[in-house]
Chain A
Amino acid sequence: MSGNPQQEAALALGVQGLTVIGRPSDVEIISDITLTVRRGEICGLVGESGSGKTTLGLSLLAHCKRGTEVTRGAVEVAGTALTGLSEAEVRRLRGRAVAYIPQSPASALNPALRLRTQLAEALHSWNEEEQGTRADRVREVLREVALPDDDAFLARYPHQLSGGQQQRVAIAMAFIDRPDVIVMDEPTTGLDVTTQAHVLETIRSMTRQHGTAGVYISHDMAVVADLADEIAVMYRGEVVERGRAAEVLADPEHDYTRRLLRAVPLLKTSGHAEPEEDGGEPLLKISGLQAGYGSTTVLRGIDVEVRRGECVALLGESGSGKTTLSRSVAGLHTQFSGGLLLDGEQLAASSYRRTAEQRRRVQYIFQNPYEALNPRKRVRDLVLAPYTHLMGKPKDPDAVVHEALERAALPASYAARFPEQLSGGERQRVGIARAIATGPDLLICDEITSALDVSVQAEIVKLLRALQDDGMALLFVTHNIALVSNIAQKVAVLNKGEIVEYGPVGEVMSAPGHDYTRALIADTPDFELSFGESPMHRGAQAPEKAAGQ
């Protein structure tokens, strides 16, 4: 591009007083945002859901979602003002001046197009005479993101790739026309830690190598701390803090930034006090369990024990079979064989064949709070449903609801609300209240924080710890190794349907015996708080940096 090269080198993206409002209510979604990113650097845009991160990210592409509108401010990419250009002019600049990597690669790639066509499409303003053939550029960019560049790979369809490969194709598509600025909207949220580590590495090297300015949108401080040169913290549509990454992390000025930092779970803690082995029968005993779908076996030889008041974490990446295992315990997945004993009594495969008492004692909390509550029912009816069905009509239904809500740290007035009137974290608390209303002995938590922001996750974990202190046993299913050490006493690491490591959290985290566990620990972004004590880090003494590496 033209212009003063000195200035260009300094600044690739400049945003001045940008304001976006929503129609028809004229609410400011983001107000008066000022942001600058230098070439070759990455600016981490951190904030919780609803803070306007995505709206800002899209407005950097001069794109507004339906019902929103830029009212004030300017966006300048490599010296060219994007605001005020016509739609056709903006479209010419997209891809070349500014490109976008969406959150879900599976929905961003056209499933009907082969990769070759898909990638070449992004080169709409490519000049073959000056810049070489499109086909060469496609191969080159695939090599840059560490994907194969042979004909067989180019002829593939998106569904023939893994999640990580798909995301790298999306990255390749964004980088293919050598843009000045690249906007990334939580590109690793749906990925396993190992894949996430690879994708982040790719993003980092691509921006450095080509002098591209990156804007990385995320709710996870740990990821941003690892990746960004500069951090901008967003809260309710405003940038409340902005500065060099090291400074923001070491000395956060705004309260909200501090809260976000505190919410990040520490990878390693000294562990929790082991509950004394009472020697008696464990509450839940799984032995030699094998499960599958149709003729495919997804779990083999599973042995896990959960004692009263104990939390056992089931750690594994997507596809490891951890949800199948937890659903088998809850009676939702019936194709399994092997021992599943609750207090020494074998549980039937289907929840419908279990006694009401057995169903009462084992309760399940679901992964996605947006889908786990019937949108047509009030919180009161949702919480009361299992109680009424399993234990009969209570004498004082309101008392039951209030107690459950209180234990889930929700005000009693929430009983009259519908799920759509609750935030994600509140919905998950209702899910917890529903599960604990019947006074169960075992709670199965299936990735219950993975759909929530990190700050909300910290609160939910705190709540679960309190429940555990009351004597409830937890089977905590997660893919997030950092959470394990913050909540569980024992951990079972699942890999491809088998338990590769099983033992007390402290031992497993400090001296992992299996390669897979070591890789998981190494790939998880870890950062230490250099200020204050956090609630998440209860009992944490300055952990030694990555002993497993």
Chain B
Amino acid sequence: MSTATAAAAPGAAAPPRRPGLLRTAWRYHRTKIGVVLTAAVLLVAAVGPFVSPYSPTEMAGTPNATGIDGALFGTDNVGRDVLSRFLHGGYTLVAIAVLSALAGVAAGAVIGIVAGYLRNWADELLMRTNDMLLAFPQLVLALLLLSILGPQVWLIVVIIAVSHANRVARVVREATLKVVEQDFVKSAEAIGLPRWRIMASEILPNITSPLLVELGLRITYSVGTIATLSFLGMGLQPPTADWGLMINEGRVAITVQPWAVVLPVTAVAVLTIGANLITDGLSRASIGIDRGVEK
């Protein structure tokens, strides 16, 4: 292998690169199943509002009725169409989940890389502050702030993003430490490349695998947290259609009108499982399990 030297013909074909993380992950069945499940839920959330038979706040019949004409899954506790509310209730949840996960992972990546690379007082300051925030239970913190400032969408995003950032920062710092040890970082330092450029162009591209895995994981957690907050009445407020809220509203009449609970619960569960399967596939691919002998 290492005999190929200068003597190699200039036009010789380069050996193929190892397929990237996404391509490797796609080979696992779990990833494909995860993508299908996630895509199905996302499709419902994105297209749902355009195909729903009623508006989410419109009365469609008597409360908690099932088997009536024009409302496939019956009506909820006020008499609105369950299917329409279900179709409308996804995009807020998904949008908030994705937005907060993206913000959290981005912030966590910055904190983690800076702490892991500089390794000085900044590291101590960032990571100890991080530890303090980590010691707070995520949900209790969210409930506390939401009850003081009132339930607002931007606040939910910020709270969830911050609580993600702490956890992501720890993972990213560890990943950074491994990269920083390598000589190509030293090489960049020797030519005096500014620190921020070393972090952006030498370190960041080499920790994308753990970042992708984290992103998947954080989206899953976001969905769970937002649904929980809505259920507890601290998330989106009535009369907004929202899966978490629907579970709360429908739980009293669950014996007479199960659909108002079953539909959103199924959607949240499928989305969570799907995202988890994708994350699992990504992490397997990044560790290199079952790689085998390629060439």
Interface-facing stretch out of B59-67, B71-79, B251-259, B286-294: B286-294
Q: Which of A332, A413, A425, A453 contacts B12 (CB 8 A)?
A: A413
Within 8 A of B (CB), among A408-444: 409-414, 416-418, 420-421, 423-426, 429, 434
Instruction: Check if A210 is an interface residue, CB within 8 A of chain B.
Output: no
Q: Which of B3-11, B82-90, B149-157, B225-233 contacts A (4 or more CB under 8 A)?
A: B3-11
Contacts of B189 in A (CB 8 A): 331-332, 351-352
CB distance from A424 to the nearest CB of B (A): 5
- B50 contacts partner chain A, Cβ-Cβ < 8 Å: no
Main secondary structure of the interface of B (DSSP, over half): loop
A364 and B292: CB pair below 8 A?
no
B120 interface residue (CB < 8 Å to A): no
Q: Does A207 reach chain B (CB closer than 8 Å)? A: no
B263 to chain A minimum Cβ distance, whole angstroms, is 43
> Cβ of A385 and Cβ of B14 under 8 Å apart?
no
- With the chains together, A22 CA to B6 CA distance in Å? 29
Asked if residues A359 and B18 are in contact (CB atoms below 8 Å), the reply is no
Q: Does A459 contact B (CB under 8 A)?
A: yes
A455 within 8 A of B: yes
A293 to B181, CA, bound (A): 17
A29 to B294, CA, bound (A): 11
Residues 357-383 of A at the B interface (beta carbon under 8 Å): 359, 363-364, 366-368, 371-377
A366 and B186 CA atoms in complex are apart in Å by 9
Cα-based distance from A372 to B181 in the complex (angstroms):
10
**Distance of A260 Cα from B4 Cα, bound (Å):** 14
Residues of chain B within 8 A of A416, CB atoms compared: 14
Interface residues on chain A, size class: 35 or more
Question: What band does the interface of chain B fall in when counting residues whose beta carbon is under 8 Å from A?
Answer: 35 or more
In angstroms, Cα B193 to Cα A459, docked, is 31
Query: What residues of B have a CB within 8 angstroms of the CB of A411 in the complex?
Result: 6, 8-10, 12
Q: Find B191's partner among A371, A385, A426, A459 (CB 8 Å cutoff).
A: A385
Query: A352, A354, A429: which has the most chain B beta carbons within 10 Å?
Result: A352
The reply to whether A368 and B2 contact each other, CB–CB distance below 8 Å, is no
Contact of A155 with B by CB under 8 A: no
B184, A351: Cβ atoms closer than 8 Å: no
Residues in A neighbouring B148, C-beta threshold 8 A: none
The contact string, 1 if C-beta is below 8 Å from chain A, for chain B 1-38, is 11111101111101111100000000000000000000
* A68 B190 Cβ-Cβ under 8 A: no
Interface residues of A in 2-61 (CB under 8 A from B): 22-25, 27, 29, 48-51
Q: Are A22 and B1 in contact (CB under 8 A)?
A: no
**Are B3 and A48 in contact (CB-based, < 8 A)?**
yes
Alpha-carbon separation in the docked complex, A22 to B2 (Å): 19
Q: Are A456 and B17 in contact (CB under 8 A)?
A: no
CB of A374 within 8 A of CB of B11, answer: no
Give Cα A416–Cα B13 distance, bound, in whole angstroms.
Answer: 11
A376 touches B190 (CB 8 A): no
Contacts of A409 in B (CB 8 A): 5-6
Interface residues of A (CB under 8 A from B): 22-25, 27, 29, 48-51, 66-68, 330-332, 351-352, 354, 356, 359, 363-364, 366-368, 371-377, 385-386, 389-390, 409-414, 416-418, 420-421, 423-426, 429, 434, 452-453, 455-456, 459
19 A-B pairs in the complex with CB atoms less than 8 angstroms apart: A23-B292, A27-B295, A48-B1, A331-B192, A332-B189, A351-B190, A356-B192, A363-B190, A366-B186, A375-B206, A377-B205, A389-B193, A390-B191, A409-B5, A411-B6, A412-B10, A421-B17, A425-B2, A455-B3
The 6 closest A-B pairs by CB, nearest first: A22-B293, A50-B1, A409-B6, A67-B292, A411-B10, A376-B205
Which B residues contact A (CB, under 8 angstroms)?
Answer: 1-6, 8-12, 14-18, 181-184, 186-193, 202, 205-206, 291-295
New A-B pairs, 12, CB < 8 Å, besides A368-B183, A389-B192: A23-B293, A25-B293, A25-B295, A331-B189, A352-B192, A366-B183, A366-B186, A374-B206, A376-B205, A386-B191, A389-B191, A423-B4
